[in-house]
Amino acid sequence: MINNRELANTFTLIADLLEIKGENFYKTNAYRKAAENLLELSQEAHQIWEDGELQSIPGVGKAIADKIDELLRTGELEFLNRLTAEVPASLAEMVKIPDLGPKKVKLFWDELGITTVEELAEAAKAGKLADLPGMGEKSQARVLAGIEALGRRQTGRIPLGDAWGFGQSQLMFLRALPGVAAAEMAGSLRRMRDTIGDLDILVAAEDSEPVMEAFSSQPNISHIEGRGPTKTSVEFSNGLRAQVWVHPPQRFGTALQYATGSKDHNVRVREQALKKGFSLSEHALTREDGTELLCASEEEVYQAVGLPFIPPELREDRGEVQAGLAGTLPRLIKVANILSDLHTHSTWSDGRGSIREMAEAAIARGRKMLAVTDHSQSLGIGNGLSIERLMAQKEEINQLRQEFQGQITLLHGTEMEIKADGTLDYPDEILAQLDIVVASLHVAMRQPREQVTERMLTAIRNPHVDIIGHPTNRLIPDRAGADLDMEVIFQAAAEHGTALEINANPQRLDLNDIHARRAIELGVLLAVDTDAHAPEHFDFLPFGVATARRAWAAKENVINTWPVEKLLGWLENRPHP
């Protein structure tokens, strides 16, 4: 039976579509009022209907009562069917974009034939909205921002890469306030999960009021969701939500530990605290006699409960507390350990930087080795290199190698397609002439598990293939990876000594933390690469390293940490069964 919410949604849809059509306010408002009143009923509308009392519902007159009757009897509404034949129902989705009213939606539909949010996003990106009457560059940018905000509201989770920079700017803002001793990120963003629900920020200050006031007065806040003495929650106009907690500096350690989570990790740590005679809260470690042990730093918290410091990336209750007690926590890899980037692109394929520009950017970031791995011939959309162009590229790299000698070691490689039919995109004799081969899946990724796994195995078994790039080809937040049998992939990679990539692009982070951890357990080597398509993309590296840390990776597990000579030796002469 159709429930009140479904009835209300139907009337809201009618109101939206009538408004786009240009109906007057009184008519559309009648439907909106009816929808609101339906949601407030303490009884199901169909019971009222069975009693023949529909018109006793506030805001429901004869016309709307007839429509409810038809819906409850037939499950359909002829009026709505006629309306959607005239005005596509998908237009109502567009009305939900913040700052976009029915008039604008009608304008885009009339002028450009746009009927879906996706089409609107494309048109905005292509700059087609700016020239419409009443629009302009600024309004066009606002439409795009609104679409992003809508997407966030729907999936509820924000990609790490989108939240990170915003979080940093909030920290800078807070640290600059008078009376603020420290400000740190907490929650899932500090743990570097690949998606973030909301931002949790911890501030150390004696006096919380001025911090709360300054934080919640920022102009880019769309509304305040909650305001207490030590905690404020807001939603920013970009759709990101954040909460700020203020604690006195001498209690900052327990507060930061609490707010970093995860919840499950905290449960374990509290159990451990109890064993040591403490109850642990965000405010303090409290002894049985009621006296408090205050911790200014997290290190003190972990020490007091008998644990070594547990890095935030491990705090997921995946055995880290037990390992801490047993003294078997890994020495996690750090960004500074990474010496080489083994998967990058240039203007030869779909990159935005020349090889020279990419090399200079890598040098500026302290890299010692850079592999240029442009796309291979079959990837048309990536402007893949024919064998001729690949050989011409070799010439250019040979020349640049002289120029950059002593600064960075340049490798000539490829990101080779694993083609839909399971074959590889260059013959072995060409691969043998390259310094490094990354093999990746970009096409036909929805093949059945057995078929797509077999394709991947072909690449893993090829003695010229050194690394599998972004193995599952997932995209964050909404493209699931290929349906690979990961266990089989990991075993084959371990057996053949082929490294699997953790792609550091925050849209990818592929392998993910859980897969990468299992791979390490099975003896697979990992590669953490940026897949840079432009000089600034080298800055993706910390996201990849964080994912490796969440996978419990030590330096030794990741080939990019190896000294140049060792890595060159491995590339030239990989142990192979």
Smallest distance, Ca ion to C-beta of residue 187, A = 3
- How many whole angstroms from its chain centre is CA 337? 24
Q: How far apart are CA 436 and CA 414, in angstroms?
A: 7
The answer to whether 338 contacts ligand DGT (rule: CB under 6 A) is no
Binds ligand DGT by CB under 6 A, chosen from 10, 115, 188, 505: 188
Kindly tell me the burial class for residue 5, based on how many C-beta atoms sit within 10 Å of its own C-beta (0-12, 13-18, 19 or more).
exposed
Q: How far apart are CA 420 and CA 442, in angstroms?
A: 9
The answer to whether 316 contacts Ca ion (rule: CB under 5 A) is no
Tell me how many residues contact Zn ion (CB under 5 A).
1
Kindly tell me the burial class for residue 406, based on how many C-beta atoms sit within 10 Å of its own C-beta (0-12, 13-18, 19 or more).
exposed
Residue written as token pair 């490798």 = 411
243 vs 393, which CB is nearer to Zn ion? 393
242 vs 528, which CB is nearer to Ca ion? 242
Smallest distance, ligand DGT to C-beta of residue 427, A = 47
Q: Which stretch binds ligand DGT (CB under 6 A): 64-72, 171-179, 195-203, 217-225?
A: 195-203
Task: List Cβ neighbours of 523 (8 Å cut-off, separation of 6 or more).
Answer: 494
The answer to whether 312 contacts ligand DGT (rule: CB under 6 A) is no
Smallest distance, ligand DGT to C-beta of residue 457, A = 35
Query: Strands, DSSP E only, in 187-272?
Result: 195-196, 199-204, 221-227, 231-236, 241-247
Question: Quick one: what does residue 440 bind among Ca ion, ligand DGT, Zn ion, none, with the CB cut-off 5 to 8 Å set by partner type?
Answer: Zn ion
Question: Quick one: what does residue 266 bind among ligand DGT, Ca ion, Zn ion, none, with the CB cut-off 5 to 8 Å set by partner type?
Answer: ligand DGT
Q: How far apart are CA 285 and CA 282, in angstroms?
A: 8
The answer to whether 313 contacts Ca ion (rule: CB under 5 A) is no
60 vs 314, which CB is nearer to ligand DGT? 314
Q: Which stretch binds Ca ion (CB under 5 A): 47-55, 194-202, 203-211, 307-315?
A: 194-202
Question: Quick one: what does residue 159 bind among Ca ion, ligand DGT, Zn ion, none, with the CB cut-off 5 to 8 Å set by partner type?
Answer: none
Q: Which two tokens stand for residue 275?
A: 């064993």
Q: Which stretch binds Ca ion (CB under 5 A): 183-191, 384-392, 403-411, 413-421?
A: 183-191
Cα end-to-end distance, the chain, whole Å: 63
Question: Quick one: what does residue 263 bind among Ca ion, ligand DGT, Zn ion, none, with the CB cut-off 5 to 8 Å set by partner type?
Answer: ligand DGT
Q: Which stretch binds ligand DGT (CB under 6 A): 117-125, 262-270, 301-309, 491-499?
A: 262-270
Q: How far apart are CA 172 and CA 215, in angstroms?
A: 12
Q: Which stretch binds ligand DGT (CB under 6 A): 83-91, 101-109, 253-261, 488-496?
A: 253-261
The answer to whether 310 contacts ligand DGT (rule: CB under 6 A) is no
Give, as ranges, the residues between 198 and 227 that touch ligand DGT (CB under 6 A): 198, 200
- Nearest 5°: the CA angle 208, 212, 214 is 120
Smallest distance, ligand DGT to C-beta of residue 38, A = 32
The answer to whether 263 contacts ligand DGT (rule: CB under 6 A) is yes
Q: Which stretch binds ligand DGT (CB under 6 A): 29-37, 190-198, 464-472, 568-576?
A: 190-198
Q: Which two tokens stand for residue 384?
A: 């893949």
Give, as ranges, the residues between 265 and 294 that touch ligand DGT (CB under 6 A): 266
Q: How far apart are CA 452 and CA 441, in angstroms?
A: 9
Tell how strand 221-227 and strand 182-186 pair up.
Answer: unpaired
199 vs 460, which CB is nearer to Ca ion? 199
Question: Quick one: what does residue 146 bind among Ca ion, ligand DGT, Zn ion, none, with the CB cut-off 5 to 8 Å set by partner type?
Answer: none
Q: Which stretch binds ligand DGT (CB under 6 A): 137-145, 255-263, 402-410, 488-496?
A: 255-263
Q: Given phi > 0 = left and psi -120 to 50 = alpha, else beta, which region is 192?
A: left
The answer to whether 257 contacts ligand DGT (rule: CB under 6 A) is no
Q: Which stretch binds ligand DGT (CB under 6 A): 223-231, 259-267, 372-380, 453-461?
A: 259-267
Q: How far apart are CA 411 and CA 406, in angstroms?
A: 14
CA atoms 555, 557, 563, 564: torsion sign: negative
Of 20, 40, 37, residue with least CA distance to 96: 20
Q: Which stretch binds ligand DGT (CB under 6 A): 33-41, 72-80, 194-202, 389-397?
A: 194-202
Tell how strand 221-227 and strand 278-280 pair up.
Answer: unpaired
Q: Binding string, 424-463, against Zn ion, x = CB under 5 A? A: ----------------x-----------------------
234 bridge partner residues: 224, 242
Q: How far apart are CA 379 and CA 35, in angstroms?
A: 51
120 vs 202, which CB is nearer to ligand DGT? 202
256 vs 418, which CB is nearer to ligand DGT? 256
Tell how strand 340-341 and strand 221-227 pair up.
Answer: unpaired
Binds Ca ion by CB under 5 A, chosen from 19, 162, 194, 198: 198
Q: How many residues does the chain have?
A: 577
Residue written as token pair 């080939």 = 559
Closest residue to Zn ion: CB criterion: 440
Contacts of range 574-577, beta carbons closer than 8 Å, 24 or more positions apart: 574/463, 574/466, 574/497, 575/497, 576/463, 576/496, 576/497, 577/495, 577/496
375 vs 550, which CB is nearer to Ca ion? 550
Residues making contact with Zn ion (CB under 5 A) = 440
Contact positions vs Ca ion (CB under 5 A) = 187-188, 197-198, 200
Binding site for ligand DGT (CB under 6 A): 187-188, 193, 196-198, 200, 258-259, 261-263, 266
